[in-house]
Structure 1
Amino acid sequence: MRWLAALLHPATAPLGSLRNQLLRWLILPLVALVALNAVSVYRDALETADIAYDRSLLSSTRALAERVTVRGGKVVANVPYVALDSFETDTLGRIYYKVTGLRGETVSGYDDLPAVPPEVPRSDLYPALVRFYHADYNGEPVRIAALLQPVFDDTMRGIALIQVGETLDARRALSRRILFNTLLRQALMVLAVATLVWFAVRLVLRPLMRLKNEVETRPLSDLSNIDQALVHREVRPLVAAMNGTMARMQDLIASQRRFIADASHQLRTPLAVLKTQAELALREDNQEAMRAIVRSIAGTTDSTIHLANRLLTLARIEHGGGSAQGGPVSLAAVAAQVGLELAVPAVQKGIDLALEAEEGSDTTVAGQELLLHELVSNLVDNAIRYTPAGGSVVVRVARQEAGVLLEVADSGPGIPPEEHGKVLMPFYRAQATLEANPGGTGLGLAIVRDIAELHGAAPALDRSAAGGLKVTVLFPTSKAAPLKAS
């Protein structure tokens, strides 16, 4: 059963219906408790009935004991036939009696009535020397009261034993009646409580049903907040979380729309240039002019590929494709690898590309090596692109108390302080960078910002010692590997 599976394996069992689960967890324990209560009530009722029947049995025994006397040195029982009939039969069973004299002789009654077992204690419920016990007589279970009755006259004195037993028919009939009445009352109570619980659960869950209907009937484009007043106070955190999710979805959709619009705008220009260059090449008959146009097409294609690659990188990072979860990465090793990869364009421009890393210093950070490589590569590539021929680019990696520091400084035109925040946005280009490199994409620093944020850091822009731009990224201690013991 699914409810039993949910109890034994709550993590893997299907949740199913909330209404059914509430009904089961409310009604089934109630039924179990009512059953236990019914058993307890039934036992108490039987005990009370036994006490009542034992009292009646003791009264009959006392009535018989009052007719036991001593005459002529013998114990006699003066029991008239009318009394014997009343003692020996009852409407629901039979009654047996026996009077035993001082010397163990049977004075009156049934000789073979079972004797009193020696281990049966005297009853403390009554001010009499009486013991109650169960026995079998004539193939039927009986309940017997054994009363010790003092008898005496002028010649003798002693204790006579008066036993009165009755079959259990009357007690069993009363037990069945008590059981039936108990179960009937308990069943009616369970039915009434179950009905009330069913209506209560329906009433309590009605706001959730209204919430479900509102969410189901909403248009796909409607991501507005859901009114928290529609549900109970305990469910409002869930509605607030849903509203937060829809707000993030709105931001994501808006970001995607802006990205698509910006990407379309950025790609439209180089594609139009390519088309124009191709049309010129088709109309050109001069071989040298044709080669010049083809070289222009190749340059435009390279720029378009560079733009497309950066757009894809930015889209992957901004919209969930990138994650900072990963193993330890040596930032100094990443910077050295980037330096080797970009050494050729640096040499072609006569730029002095240098890497400064403290030997033996632990520059390990927790993150994805591919993303960190992309971050360093964008910073160094930008520095080489905007640094004039004969300039310098310095990449510095160092361990500090607060974390691992990455610094890229160049001797290019730099960026005015008032534009430091703007150049971190996609497609924004400062005036100085436009003049130094008209074919740039405006995406390098935006990619750097997003990757740094994934690793718990943020890029900081400043003026370098050579008058150009200095970009600093400090990976905090919480995201950096612990310092090695010295």
Structure 2
Amino acid sequence: MSAPAQRLGSLRGALLRWLLFPLVLLVLINSVSAYHNALDAADLAYDRSLLASTRALAERVAVVDGRVTVNVPYVALDSFETDSLGRLYYKVTGIHGEFVSGYEDLPPVPAGIKRSEIYPALVRFYHATYRGTPVRVAALLQPVYDDTMRGIALIQVGESLEARHVLSRKILVDTLWRQAALVLTVAILSWFAVRFVLRPLTLLTEDVASRSSSDLSDFNPAQVHREVRPLVHAMNGYMDRLRQLIAGQRRFMADASHQLRTPLTVLKTQAELALRAQEPRAIREVVEGIARTTDSTVQLANRLLTLARAEHGSADEMHAGVLLNELALQVCMELAMAAVKKEIDLSVDAETEVKLTGNALLLHELVANLVDNAVRYTPASGRLAVRVAREPDGTALLEVEDSGIGVPAEERSQVFAPFYRAPGAQQVNSAGAGLGLTIVRDIVNMHGAKITLGDSRLGGLKASVRFPPSA
């Protein structure tokens, strides 16, 4: 037993989810990447500015009377102490490590800090904390000399990170706003695009919903996209099969009502005659006629029901393991008494095991109809042969041939039509319904087989049914 199918949600929603979820993920990745790239660019710009301030201070370092000095004007000193977004701190250290000017407690250069390869200068950048405030410090080694001494002074300029933090927040907010606006725009456009693309499906749904129960015409595949056209073709194929089924049911009802009307009318007439009859002998004759008509009517009704089942049988009724040879032997045993009464020589060649996949009841009806027809239309002291074999290509073969009246070649294509009876058959058996070969044809088609009528070597008719190897 198969598991229950999972209920699917909205196609529009599924398309939007598959479009927007990856887009949102990519936008997030792009936002993080753009944010970090912008921060790197901003840090590089601030480091350049910090290095420029350090170089400007280094140009004012000199050696006077054997001592390192720095001449920082008041205006320059004011710019080092404060600006609108943060503070700048500096420190100048002489060639012997002595403090020269600036903020003496500015954090020293940590051990292991490598020189920056970005700038053509002996500069190192590092982060530190000064007076409880995070700072970024540039440490520049500046050569100084005069006639009496020569060495390298250390110039440090630190900048508080408020400006950088403000800029980073602005970059983050701008990036998120832009990406959010992009996602919202794409979502709106995608919603309209999906709605537009699914419009043909909506029209097809409205077409299906608005049709009456009697309208089984085809749907137009051109009104939907190429990918959906196989679905429309499948729907049209189903509608065609439904039309055929309904037409078959209507034909069956019409044929059944037509064929049953005559015996029922006869029964009514015979019943009225029995009511009017006075003599017991006359009443008995009428009752015997009613019994014969009833038997004929029951046989006709059974044939009609078998025909309906053969016409509208489904694949669910097919079962494995039907032995055609044993089925043929069983049918011949059932009809042997009728053959004995007419002194017909009935022979059966069904020793080879021939296994089929099919409906056992309908296959029995198929063999029974062919053998019964052969018995009915073979004259007394005639011959009848039934053979079941497996041919070299795997085809299963059923042959029924007799020495009866046969069917002219020009009429063999008509005898499968419902209620059609050849003139010769009507002379031999006037009580037939003309449904036997119709039932045989439908059962043969149901099993994917093929039936042919030909001349028998016994002088009458040979019916050959070939089941494909797949059966």
Please state which band the TM-score falls in when normalised by the shorter chain.
Answer: over 0.9
Q: Provide the rounded CA distance (Å) in 2 between the counterparts of 1:477 and 1:120.
A: 86
Which position in structure 1 is the counterpart of 2:296? 303
Q: Provide the rounded CA distance (Å) in 2 between the counterparts of 1:121 and 1:59.
A: 19
Task: Map Cα deviations across residues 44-85 of structure 1 (whole Å, 9 max, x no partner).
Answer: 111111111111111111111112222333322322343222
* Contact 2:324 2:353 survives alignment (8 Å): no
- Partner of residue 421 from structure 2, selected from 420, 425, 429: 429
- Partner of residue 10 from structure 2, selected from 9, 17, 38: 17
Letter in 2 for 1:417: A
Which position in structure 2 is the counterpart of 1:459? 451
Equivalent runs, 1:141-220 vs 2, <5 Å: 141-220=134-213
Q: TM-score, normalised by structure 2?
A: 0.92
Question: C-alpha displacement at 1:126, in angstroms?
Answer: 1.0
Q: Provide the rounded CA distance (Å) in 2 between the counterparts of 1:158 and 1:333.
A: 119
Percent pairwise identity: 64
Question: C-alpha displacement at 1:478, in angstroms?
Answer: 2.7
Which position in structure 1 is the counterpart of 2:396? 404
Q: Provide the rounded CA distance (Å) in 1 between the counterparts of 2:172 and 2:279.
A: 115
- Partner of residue 379 from structure 2, selected from 388, 392, 408: 388
Question: C-alpha displacement at 1:322, in angstroms?
Answer: 5.6
Q: Provide the rounded CA distance (Å) in 2 between the counterparts of 1:29 and 1:317.
A: 55
Q: TM-score, normalised by structure 1?
A: 0.90
Residues 195-204 or 316-325, more deviating: 316-325
> CA distance change for structure 1 residues 349 and 120 in 2, over 3 Å: closer, same or farther?
farther
* Contact 1:92 1:170 survives alignment (8 Å): yes
2:246 is the alignment partner of 1:233: no
Q: Provide the rounded CA distance (Å) in 2 between the counterparts of 1:27 and 1:170.
A: 36
Which position in structure 1 is the counterpart of 2:412? 420
Q: Provide the rounded CA distance (Å) in 1 between the counterparts of 2:83 and 2:127.
A: 19
Q: Provide the rounded CA distance (Å) in 1 between the counterparts of 2:325 and 2:342.
A: 24
Equivalent runs, 1:20-169 vs 2, <5 Å: 20-169=13-162
Letter in 1 for 2:254: A
2:343 is the alignment partner of 1:339: no
Which position in structure 2 is the counterpart of 1:438? 430
Task: Map Cα deviations across residues 267-314 of structure 1 (whole Å, 9 max, x no partner).
Answer: 111222222222222333433443333333222222222221221122
Question: C-alpha displacement at 1:341, in angstroms?
Answer: 2.2
> CA distance change for structure 1 residues 152 and 371 in 2, over 3 Å: closer, same or farther?
farther
> CA distance change for structure 1 residues 390 and 300 in 2, over 3 Å: closer, same or farther?
farther
> CA distance change for structure 1 residues 189 and 332 in 2, over 3 Å: closer, same or farther?
same
> CA distance change for structure 1 residues 346 and 115 in 2, over 3 Å: closer, same or farther?
farther
Aligned residues: 467
> CA distance change for structure 1 residues 61 and 467 in 2, over 3 Å: closer, same or farther?
same
* Contact 2:136 2:158 survives alignment (8 Å): yes
Task: Map Cα deviations across residues 430-454 of structure 1 (whole Å, 9 max, x no partner).
Answer: 1111111111121111121122122
Letter in 2 for 1:400: E
Q: Provide the rounded CA distance (Å) in 2 between the counterparts of 1:419 and 1:115.
A: 118
* Contact 1:323 1:454 survives alignment (8 Å): no
> CA distance change for structure 1 residues 265 and 321 in 2, over 3 Å: closer, same or farther?
farther
Secondary structure of the structure 1 residue equivalent to 2:347: strand
> CA distance change for structure 1 residues 347 and 295 in 2, over 3 Å: closer, same or farther?
farther
Q: Provide the rounded CA distance (Å) in 2 between the counterparts of 1:264 and 1:146.
A: 112
Secondary structure of the structure 2 residue equivalent to 1:478: coil
Task: Map Cα deviations across residues 301-339 of structure 1 (whole Å, 9 max, x no partner).
Answer: 222222212211221221244657431322111111222
Question: C-alpha displacement at 1:201, in angstroms?
Answer: 2.4
> CA distance change for structure 1 residues 143 and 81 in 2, over 3 Å: closer, same or farther?
same
Letter in 2 for 1:349: K
Residues 410-419 or 92-101, more deviating: 92-101
Secondary structure of the structure 2 residue equivalent to 1:90: coil
Question: C-alpha displacement at 1:410, in angstroms?
Answer: 1.8
Which position in structure 1 is the counterpart of 2:273? 280
Letter in 2 for 1:89: T
Secondary structure of the structure 2 residue equivalent to 1:93: coil
Secondary structure of the structure 1 residue equivalent to 2:110: coil
Residues 16-25 or 410-419, more deviating: 16-25
Q: Provide the rounded CA distance (Å) in 2 between the counterparts of 1:398 and 1:326.
A: 21
Structure 2 stretches lacking a partner, 5+ long: none
